[in-house]
């Protein structure tokens, strides 16, 4: 756990081989190695195997590529314990390939049973392959682009313009007043579920400014402080969540109904009951950064 970060998708064991992957001859050698491992992704879902309440990635050898449709995207994720790790997007297949040896599972569901390292690898693969699906064409002139450096970027073969995977920064904030926290429910949340408040960084903002703006816009709270705690890669599809706790000036709430349909303050005792599943309000799932912010505030 790098620097004590408790969040899901953070314990990625892969060496991305940023220097080596610039050498095409080196990449050509890696794909031929008998110990190379391949992860299949079908329409955003990894091929996994369940072992009781736990599970793991259903790894394949690179020979499996011969049995997969040619219309696919293969990316080199990097080295794990010096073994080459690849992921392939087989979403264009009419039916899910090799589903007889595992089950294609939503990444959010997999977060409940995969080991931390494998979940981080699945997150990386999901993120990168989704970016390739959405960036086939050059944003500058519309030409078709080609994958380069094992999938670390795409290049316009005519103009040599380079495109790199994007990350969308998000400030997620837990408001605090005295010995209470505020949680809210967005229109897309299920009834009875509440979480911290979040929003995408806008041009020219710092993350602290983003967090303060979101609190003011969504629930009318004015932040006095904005204290950073930790971040989390969030592959749905390509965000980086930055977790803050904010002391706010008052407790009066003014909701933006387009963003927040319900919000309320919770005392420490109530928040503890929410966290323990002993309240009518559901706590954010364990793999979310909002869950970890609440946990840290409670001192668990």
pLDDT per residue as tens digits for the range 37-48 = 999 999 999 999
pLDDT higher than threshold 80 for residue 283? yes
Residue 138: CB atoms within 10 A of its CB come to 19
In percent, how much of the chain has pLDDT > 70?
99
| Residue 30 CB coordination number (10 Å) | 21
Contact 200, 224 (CB under 8 A): no
Q: 191 pLDDT exceeds 70?
A: yes
Tell me: the pLDDT tens digits for 135-144?
Answer: 999 999 999 9
- Burial label for 129, CB within 10 Å (0-12, 13-18, 19+), is buried
Q: Are strands 83-89 and 37-42 parallel, antiparallel or unpaired?
A: parallel
Give the pLDDT band of residue 53 (cuts 50, 70, 90). confident
Position 2 scores a pLDDT of 58
CB of 40 within 8 A of CB of 47?
Answer: yes
Query: CB–CB of 265/41 below 8 Å?
Result: no
* Banded pLDDT at 52 (limits 50, 70, 90): confident
pLDDT of res. 180? 98
Instruction: Give span(s): CATH 3.90.79.10, the chain.
Output: 168-298
Q: Which residues contact 247 (CB under 8 A, 6 or more apart)?
A: 176, 177, 223, 224, 225
CB 117 within 8 A of CB 2: no
Query: 3.90.1720, 3.80.10, 3.90.79, 3.40.50: which CATH number matches 2-134?
Result: 3.90.79
Q: What is the pLDDT of residues 220-274, one digit of tens each?
A: 999 999 999 999 999 999 999 999 999 999 999 999 999 999 999 999 999 999 9
Q: Per-residue pLDDT tens for 5-19?
A: 999 999 999 999 999
Q: Nearest-5° angle of CA 298, CA 191, CA 169?
A: 60
Phi, psi of 205 (to 5 degrees): -95, 150
Cα–Cα distance for residue pair 220/252, rounded to 1 Å: 8
Task: Judge whether 10 and 120 are in contact, CB under 8 Å.
Answer: yes
Q: Which residues pair with 54 in a beta bridge?
A: 51
| pLDDT for 167 beyond 60 | yes
Looking at residue 65, its pLDDT comes to 96
Check pLDDT > 80 for residue 158.
yes
pLDDT for 51 equals 85
**Model confidence over 65-79: pLDDT tens digits?**
999 989 999 999 999
Inform me whether the pLDDT recorded for 20 exceeds 60: yes
| Length, in residues, of the chain | 300
79 vs 252: CA distance, rounded Å = 51
- Pick 168-298's CATH classification: 3.40.718.10, 1.10.540.10, 3.40.50.300, 3.90.79.10: 3.90.79.10
pLDDT of residue 1: 52
Cβ–Cβ under 8 Å, residues 218 and 189: no
pTM comes to: 0.95
12 to 45, 80, 81, 236: CA distances (angstroms): 18, 9, 12, 17
pLDDT for the residue 267: 98
């Amino acid at each position: 756990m790098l620097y004590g970060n408790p969040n899901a998708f953070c314990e990625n064991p892969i060496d991305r081989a940023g220097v080596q992957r610039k050498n095409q001859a080196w990449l050509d050698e890696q794909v031929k190695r008998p110990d190379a491992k391949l992860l299949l992704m079908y329409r955003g879902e990894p091929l996994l195997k369940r072992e009781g309440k736990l599970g793991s990635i259903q790894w394949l050898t690179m020979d499996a590529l011969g049995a997969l449709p040619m219309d696919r995207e293969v990316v080199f994720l990097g080295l794990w314990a010096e073994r080459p790790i690849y992921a392939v997007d087989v979403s264009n297949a009419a039916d899910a390939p090799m589903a007889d040896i595992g089950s294609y599972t939503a990444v959010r569901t997999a977060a409940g049973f995969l080991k931390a390292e494998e979940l981080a690898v699945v997150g990386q693969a999901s993120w990168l392959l989704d970016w390739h699906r959405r960036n086939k064409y050059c944003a500058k002139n519309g030409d078709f682009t080609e994958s380069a450096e094992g999938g670390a970027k795409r290049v316009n073969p005519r103009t040599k313009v380079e495109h790199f995977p994007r990350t969308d920064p998000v400030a997620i904030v837990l408001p605090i007043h005295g010995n209470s926290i505020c949680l809210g429910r967005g229109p897309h949340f299920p009834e009875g579920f509440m979480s911290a408040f979040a929003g995408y960084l806008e041009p020219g903002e710092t993350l602290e400014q983003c967090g303060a703006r979101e609190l003011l816009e969504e629930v009318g709270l004015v932040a006095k402080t904005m204290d950073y705690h930790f971040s989390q890669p969030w592959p749905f599809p390509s965000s980086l969540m930055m977790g803050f706790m904010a002391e706010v000036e008052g407790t009066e709430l003014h909701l933006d109904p387009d963003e927040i349909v319900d919000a309320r303050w919770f005392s420490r005792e109530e928040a503890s009951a929410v966290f323990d599943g002993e309240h009518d309000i559901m706590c954010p799932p364990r793999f979310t950064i909002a869950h970890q912010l609440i946990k840290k505030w409670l001192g668990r």
